[in-house]
Amino acid sequence: MSPARPIQPTPFVSGPFVPLARDSSPVQQIMQYAGDVSATVDMILVTNHHVRSTHIDALGHQVLDDQVYPGRPLAESVTPAGVRHGSTAAFAAGISTRGVLLDLAFGGPLPAAHPITPEDFEAAEARQGVRLESGDALVLRCGWAGVVDFEKPLPGVTLDAVRWMHQRGVSLYAGDAYMPLIDVAEVQELAAF
């Protein structure tokens, strides 16, 4: 069964005839003049920055003091031609590793703004009879299908849980929990991993 969530495309432009929905992903269809021939070409522009979409180049999107992880200048890492450091190009042929699903929502969705800790991970491992090992991909289930009520924030992975993932050697993270907003000192500490 696919863990993907359905996405309802919505045009970027809004107005009285284009209703906006919180579970919609903006999509814009563009007609472009094709040059010497008397015709236009259809193009579709899609943004993957949406609560129901994921993307693996997330580290290139996090900027601190004009740098992206791991301390690369933003101007040389993210250019109009694409991402040079932290790009998804390394994964063009796919990713092969063991995936471990830790189901934190075994009794129902976690509460809003629940701080996910190493103890949550270890309790799920014990309950499920699994153990995350170095190189594993961690797939985390919190029971949230995106933001249903914007007044109730999603559960978030704590900095201690990020440290735990690093200590276990987790190679890839996917889940329905947000990484928390942390202060500059914590970001610098993470960059030292």
Question: Can you list the domains of the chain with their CATH numbers?
Answer: 1-53 (no CATH), 55-92 (no CATH), 95-193 (3.50.30.50)
DSSP string, 13-58: S-BTTB---TTEEEEEEEEEE-SSSS-EEEEEEE---STT---TTG
pLDDT tens digits, residue range 104-132?
999 999 998 899 999 999 999 999 999 99
pTM value is: 0.65
Residue 112: what pLDDT? 87
pLDDT in single tens digits along all 193 residues of the chain: 445 555 565 655 554 444 445 555 555 555 555 556 566 666 666 665 555 555 666 667 777 888 887 788 888 887 777 777 766 777 778 889 999 999 999 999 999 889 999 999 999 999 999 999 999 999 999 988 755 566 777 888 988 998 999 999 999 888 887 765 455 565 556 555 5
Percent of the chain with pLDDT over 90: 28
Provide the phi-psi class of 98: left if phi over 0, else alpha when psi is between -120 and 50, else beta. Answer: beta
Tokens representing residue 10 in the block: 């919505």
Residue 82: what pLDDT? 74
